Structure 1
């Protein structure tokens, strides 16, 4: 499911994924890098190195799997903190249903 966000001061419009992040689970820290979310990319890299080094890489997969449940929520909350708002009533209802806002 997707929601639309708009930043009226910068005239920017983004569609954001709501719910489980399959791209995060498959691509790991590359998902936030491609979205320009370097804060969460650095957190993921550190966690994957930390847990992966003790488990020969298995911990890195575990980190990406667990983080996939939460990453879209973190991303949307950061976007709202940057001044983005739901673009329409449907997007607002979706974000409220998933408790993103």
Structure 2
């Protein structure tokens, strides 16, 4: 679990790797995180693929969410979070 913080002080904790919450709850996870764009994409893909896409998103969603937060200006809160992001290739 890493912690990202925005310039305004808003903090997000994000797990790196497989998302069990997406595996079990699908498109409801991005809704709870306030990520409407990915909620719609995941819902449509899950319906069109008879929920096979939910398995794929379980492996990819946390990484996608981290990249979007970083692009919005979030930065690692501590050295551990920074080291994990560097090790996984999210930042240099």
Q: TM-score, normalised to structure 1's length?
A: 0.85
Q: Offset of 1:66 from its aligned partner?
A: 1.1
Q: CA deviation at 1:100?
A: 2.5
Alignment correspondent of 1:32: 30
Unmatched segments (≥5 aa) in structure 2: none
Pairwise CA RMSD: 1.0
Residues in 1 aligned to 2:41 and 2:65: alpha-carbon distance in whole angstroms: 13
Quote the offset at 1:99 in angstroms: 2.0
Number of matched residues? 91
1:100 and 1:32 map into 2 onto residues whose CA distance is 20
Q: Which protein has the larger Cα radius of gyration, Structure 1 or Structure 2?
A: 1
Q: CA deviation at 1:14?
A: 1.5
Q: Distance in 2 between matches of 1:76 and 1:51?
A: 25
- Asked if the contact 1:6–1:12 (Cα under 8 Å) also holds between the matched residues in 2, the reply is yes
Match of 1:95 in 2: 85
What's the offset of the Cα at 1:90?
A: 0.9
| TM-score (norm: length of structure 2) | 0.93
Maintained 8 Å contact 1:24/1:64:
yes
Conserved 8 A contact 1:21-1:68: yes
